[in-house]
Amino acid sequence: MHDLGATRLAVPVGLHTGLGCDAVGVPARFGFKILSRLPAKGCVYADSDWWWWLVPAGSDQDLTWPLPACYAPGAEIPDRRPRLIHHPDGTSPYTPPIPLYLLVCQLTGIAPSWPAPPVRSAL
């Protein structure tokens, strides 16, 4: 098996990336289900095996994305020649990460999980 190398997903001209860019990938078998159920969608890229959603940088903070999802800091992914398959209507390239996370959890049968805030008491 040969190394595919890596590529960074290119954000279309005119979209604002002030929050930085990471990507969340899922196997292609989940792609249409997620795309059709998201209330808001940013840039979505696909190749024959994976679909990738752009999310703001740091969207993995305090979240563990369930397998088989793959979180890609800097939107750097394996180079399988992904192509843009969904362009957002507005000027933001991002898919909101929490609805995406909840859908990925639902489709993979994994319960969503994030740390609880610390409990403080004042006596």
Angle of helix 97-108 relative to helix 28-37, nearest 10 degrees?
Answer: 130
Distances (CA, A) of 20 to 55, 74, 75, 93: 8, 8, 9, 10
Question: pTM to 2 decimals?
Answer: 0.89
In three-state secondary structure terms, 106 is helix
Q: What is the pLDDT of residues 89-121, one digit of tens each?
A: 899 999 999 999 999 999 999 999 877 777 777
Reported in sequence order, the residue ranges of 1-123 that DSSP labels E, i.e. its strands, are 6-8, 22-27, 44-46, 50-55, 70-72, 76-78, 83-86
Burial class (CB in 10 A: 0-12, 13-18, 19+), 110: middle
* pLDDT for res 113: 86
Q: Which amino acid is at 76?
A: E
| Chain mean pLDDT for the chain | 92
